Amino acid sequence: MKHVMLHPTRKAHQRTKNRIRENGKQGFIVIAAQEEPLCLSRRPAFLLESVDTGWRGWLPCEEVEVISPACKKSENNLNISE
């Protein structure tokens, strides 16, 4: 599991923006990165847990940008380096 800071992309839906704003002040722990989770119509997504609020949920990879310096972003945002 990796601690990351996220920022919504320009094409992020309001739900994603709200989750990051409400729960991401201290960042998120990446629980899982899935290529085709059923809960998001098989779009690549992160299962995240908020460090500060304990919120846990899925956010689409295409709607978030990993901004933590400890992370390496690939083309599909799924490669989180140790």
Residue 76 lies in a domain: no
pLDDT digits (tens, 9 = 90+) for 2-61: 899 999 999 999 999 999 999 999 999 999 988 777 777 778 999 999 999 999 999 999
Q: Quick check: is 62 in a domain?
A: yes
- Does any domain span residue 10? yes
* 9-18 CB contacts, 8 Å cutoff, 24+ apart: 9/62, 9/63, 9/64, 9/65, 11/62, 11/63, 12/63, 12/64, 13/63, 16/59, 16/60, 16/63, 16/64
* pTM metric for this prediction: 0.78
Q: How many domains is the chain built from?
A: 1
List the domain range (segments joined by +) for residue 27: 2-34+41-66
Residue 54 falls within a domain, yes or no? yes
